[in-house]
A and B are shown apart, each in its own frame.
Chain A
């Protein structure tokens, strides 16, 4: 990329810091130049967050229809998957899957609920009611 082609489209990161790019100058020599971001990649990031939002909404509907417990909702909200949630809570993946069933969730001990709530950074009450604050 030539120095003069470095994009300066303000992206999410560009509000906090510029990024270093290695580019060629008019003599073809490599130099560094700062960029505020690139629209193409901001849009790729938007796609990723849009997909996450859809997953969160789908999870929410499932909980409301009593097809899943709030654990599914909060897992999606915190951009986790069963493997990550398992690593943070110490529960096995299959255990987590079980806890995602509303009937099993209702019978979970306070201790186990607390473990989930801590990982999701919410209170047990919020976990039960699916009432989350912003991350």
Chain B
């Protein structure tokens, strides 16, 4: 059995699942950038006392699950979300969903995801996909980062749904209920709310290591890494930042482009030229993140390793922090009245 479900590839898994599930529920206007912006997906945090894989703990995104939750809530759509204590129960609930014609979003760990290349399989438990069919023992999977749909057998699917460790999915399954008609006013309100929340997260969050000031915090840290950690370890740290920034699931640099795309789409609902200008600023910030990655690669490849090179690297982030701060400040001044 294969449900009628449109698999559309996305830049980021949670946006993709959000867009695809909401579209299935009848939310026709939704696109990936709108899901991302309404769900206020843009974020930055550098947790100073925590390590991930022995390197810095940095996240470019909001907490997993929030993009879907906020987007659905802003559009007044109820979410059904279940967690399970046993694999049997979780599988039964999934089968019931499919029998009722409901594709289901699942949170999974990527370590045992058989269709992923080995190089990508770390113990990261906040990946998202949609199950929308079952043939014999094989579940038909829409993984938004993949070009085509794929399959997992019940053993493989249970294993990733019950991955253990940080952010363990616990068989989590979710889907939106059918949407009522969504008006343009409602979309406008959702966009405004998404922007407002992002302003809070990036500009007004207290402390020095989150939001736009967090980016500069990392920049200042990087300048000290050469002395503190030695060239090789500092290089590994920078490689980790680039992975967090560029890889699927985290998507930091790419998120700036997505936010730029979101503001352009938002402009179609508000017709404020300022949005287009601010969109450009986020595009520039995204480009600058990519330039910073190029500088970082020079260091982790051992090509450039002087203190001056580390200073350039740190300054990139300090500059990006200023760019994003300015963009968000201007965004906070735009009067979004329809």
Interface 9-mer from A21-29, A62-70, A94-102, A109-117? A21-29
Total A-B contacts with CB atoms under 8 angstroms apart: 118
CB of A12 within 8 A of CB of B264, answer: no
CB of B117 within 8 A of CB of A79, answer: no
Picked from B10, B165, B258, B279, the residue with its CB within 8 Å of the CB of A88 is: B165
Picked from A17, A43, A88, the residue with its CB within 8 Å of the CB of B300 is: A43
CB of B300 within 8 A of CB of A22, answer: no
In the complex, whether A106 has a CB less than 8 A from a CB of chain B is: no
Interface 9-mer from B38-46, B77-85, B233-241? B233-241
Would you give the shortest CB distance from A19 to chain B, in whole angstroms? 7
CB of B297 within 8 A of CB of A44, answer: yes
Number of interface residues of B (CB under 8 A): 54
> Which residues of chain B from 172 to 230 have a CB within 8 Å of any chain A CB?
none
CB-CB under 8 A from B246, the residues of chain A are: 38, 40-41, 44
In the complex, whether B321 has a CB less than 8 A from a CB of chain A is: no
Chain A residue, CB-CB nearest to B295: A40
In the complex, whether B5 has a CB less than 8 A from a CB of chain A is: no
Interface 9-mer from B68-76, B88-96, B283-291? B283-291
CB of A84 within 8 A of CB of B239, answer: no
Chain A residue, CB-CB nearest to B9: A20
Would you give the shortest CB distance from B116 to chain A, in whole angstroms? 8
In the complex, whether B58 has a CB less than 8 A from a CB of chain A is: no
CB of B123 within 8 A of CB of A12, answer: no
A-B contact pairs, 5 of them (CB 8 A): A12-B119, A13-B248, A22-B32, A41-B242, A79-B121
